[in-house]
Amino acid sequence: MRRLVVMFALVLLLVPAAAWPQAKSSDSGVYEQLNLFGEAFERIRHDAVDPVADQKLVQTAIAGMLAGLDPHSVYLSANEYKALQNRTPDQSASTGLVVTLDKGQFKVVAPRDGSPAANADIKPDDIIFTIDKEPTFDLTLPEIEQKLRGEAGSEVTLMLRRGTAKPFKVTVKRSAAKFPTVTHRLQSTDIGYIRLGGFDATTPDELAAAVGDLRQQAGNKLVGFILDLRNNPGGDFDAAVKSADAFLGKGDIAVVKGRKSDDVKHLSATPGDVANGQPIVALVNGGTAREAELVAGALQDNKRAVLLGSKTFGESAIETLIPLNGNGAIKLTTARFLTPSGRTIQGKGLDPDLSVAPLKIAKVEQADRLREADLRGALKNPDAGKPAIPGTTPGATPGSAAGSTSPQSKAPDKPAMAATPPKGDKPSVASGDIGTTSDEQLSEAIDVLRGLALVSGRTAAAR
């Protein structure tokens, strides 16, 4: 048995072998910790009231190591890894929920557009307490994601809580359909509205096609574009980079930062802008997460778009799936992306240039004022207080568009009416309400875009 412990210790030592030259002084401490592990391993194996297989102890130890890093670093057993690689269509039906682990609770990042979860009115920041009556508190993120999947047409019942309101049940039917990532329409005959609900391999081409179709519909009389990134939980990293690149003719799209200080990669835009330099207003909120934040940050830092809405989710992890020689795999966070100017997104999110909460009109007393819940992403920011990475500009936030006015400075139209979030709710919008006539943020975006078009038109005329 001691030989097994020694072999396991050697495996642990070989994994970070590339880092030995920088860590030789701490080798003795590593050996001491491995001896501690070996002692605990033997104690559990011989003294636990219920016998535990050696393989389970080792796998649990690996899983524990990864769980202590971040919510997205996890261990996949050989069976789990095989199932992931060989998943059949019948096993891939999904509710469309994208979730994350936050302070021991499973939180909805956002439901995907057109998914059963979106149709069930599930919102960003909803907390999942149970799945088919099974508590989620002791489950891992892969286990949660697996439970949300199943056969097409099968149902899953969730117990959710929204804000401070009472928990409620929602039954969602799984679907094997492909959820759309790009939809578009002509808004008010001269504004191109493009909804980006996620990112997959087809998104960049669909985005370019949407811009061309909108131009044709408007007879080349478009004044600008509204890019709706609300409740976009992310998706394919490369597709998101290409989507941002579509609107940028120069500059950086993002900065990818690895573990080492010199492990920095700048992702640069290629020449060409599908919008031909016309003004863009990008809508964001607490459901704008991960790769959607990459796009929003790229457009904001390059002053290519005005961000309107509320603070984004705050997650920028890049994960790598690493096989373990036939013994499963680990999914490890190996890098994070920053905005082009070096601003950290992880744990902070992006602040919009114009803050506008999704509001509902209700009769209130004259003394009542606007209230907005905090949508700060709860994940810990590892770079707080650190200077921007070498070669980047410390994170100055791009200014608001010229001639635009902050929504907070506007007086209400009627003294006896005020806009307030519904009681017990956070300022997030249901996916089903996005783009409808009751979408207050979209109405504000249209006004801002017209102002931008007017200013840019006058500037062009002056030239």
| pLDDT bracket for residue 78 (50, 70, 90) | confident
| Per-residue pLDDT band at 183 (split at 50, 70, 90) | very high
Question: Considering only 46-60, 85-99, 102-116, which range has the smallest mean pLDDT?
Answer: 85-99
The pLDDT, as a whole number, for residue 399 is: 39
Residue 415 in this model has a pLDDT that exceeds 50: no
Q: Walk me through the domains of the chain, giving residue ranges and CATH numbers.
A: 2-52 (no CATH), 87-173 (2.30.42.10), 182-462 (3.90.226.10)
pTM of the full structure: 0.77
CA dist list (Å): 309 to 284, 299, 360, 373, 448? 5, 15, 15, 13, 12
Q: H-helix or E-strand containing 44?
A: helix 27-47
Residue 383 confidence (pLDDT): 54
Question: Is 419 a residue whose pLDDT tops 60?
Answer: no
Contact at 8 Å (CB) between 392 and 341?
A: yes
pLDDT of 392 > 80? The answer is no
pLDDT higher for 428 or 260? 260
Answer yes or no: is pLDDT of 425 > 80. Answer: no
Instruction: Using alpha carbons, list the distances in angstroms from residue 418 to 216, 221, 361.
Output: 40, 36, 6
pLDDT-derived band at 429 (thresholds 50, 70, 90) equals confident
**Residue 413 reports pLDDT greater than 60:** no
Single-letter amino acid, residue 150? G
Q: In which region does residue 379 sit, left (phi positive, over 0), alpha (psi from -120 to 50) or beta (all else)?
A: beta
DSSP bridge pairs for 74: 331
185, 311, 308, 217: CA torsion to nearest 10: -10
Question: How does pLDDT run across 21-74, given as a tens digit for each residue?
Answer: 444 445 667 878 888 888 888 999 889 898 888 888 888 888 888 888 888 888
- CA count, 13 A, side-chain hemisphere, 110: 33
Question: What whole-number distance in Å separates Cα of residue 242 and Cα of residue 148?
Answer: 30
Whether pLDDT at 201 is above 90: yes
pLDDT for position 330: 93
State mean pLDDT over 135-158.
89
- If one compares 225 and 325, the residue with the highest pLDDT of the two is 225
In angstroms, the CA 453 to CA 402 distance is 11
Q: For the chain, what is the mean pLDDT? A: 81
Q: Are strands 155-161 and 127-131 parallel, antiparallel or unpaired?
A: antiparallel
Report the distance separating Cα 27 and Cα 311, nearest Å.
44
Q: What percent of the chain has pLDDT over 90?
A: 52
Phi, then psi, of 168 in degrees rounded to 5: -140, 155
Render the burial of 314-334: b for 16+ CB within 10 Å, e for the rest: bbbbbbeeeebeebbbbbbbe
Q: What is the pLDDT of residue 402?
A: 38
Q: Over the stretch 45-54, which tens digit does the pLDDT of each residue have?
A: 889 898 888 8
| Stretch 186-207: mean pLDDT | 96
pLDDT at 369 over 90: no
Q: Residue 112: its pLDDT value, please?
A: 94
Backbone φ and ψ for 332, nearest 5 degrees, come out as: -125, 135
How sure is the predictor about 410, in pLDDT bands with cuts at 50, 70 and 90?
very low
H/E stretch holding 282 reads strand 280-284
Please tell me the predicted confidence (pLDDT) of residue 396. 40
pLDDT the model gives residue 27: 61
DSSP 3-state of 91: helix
pLDDT, average across residues 201-228: 95
Letter string b/e over residues 128-146, b meaning 16 or more CB atoms within 10 A of that residue's CB:
bbebeeeebeebbbbebbb
At residue 33, the pLDDT reads 82
Residues 6+ apart with CB under 8 A from 108: 97, 98, 99, 117, 122, 123, 124, 125, 126, 127, 128, 160
pLDDT at 34: 83
| CB 204, CB 248: distance < 8 Å | no
User: Contact at 8 Å (CB) between 94 and 155?
Assistant: no
Strands (DSSP E) along 162-233, which ranges?
168-173, 182-187, 191-196, 224-228
Residue 118 has pLDDT above 50, yes or no: yes
Q: What is the pLDDT of residue 334?
A: 94
Q: Find the mean pLDDT for residues 84-103.
A: 80
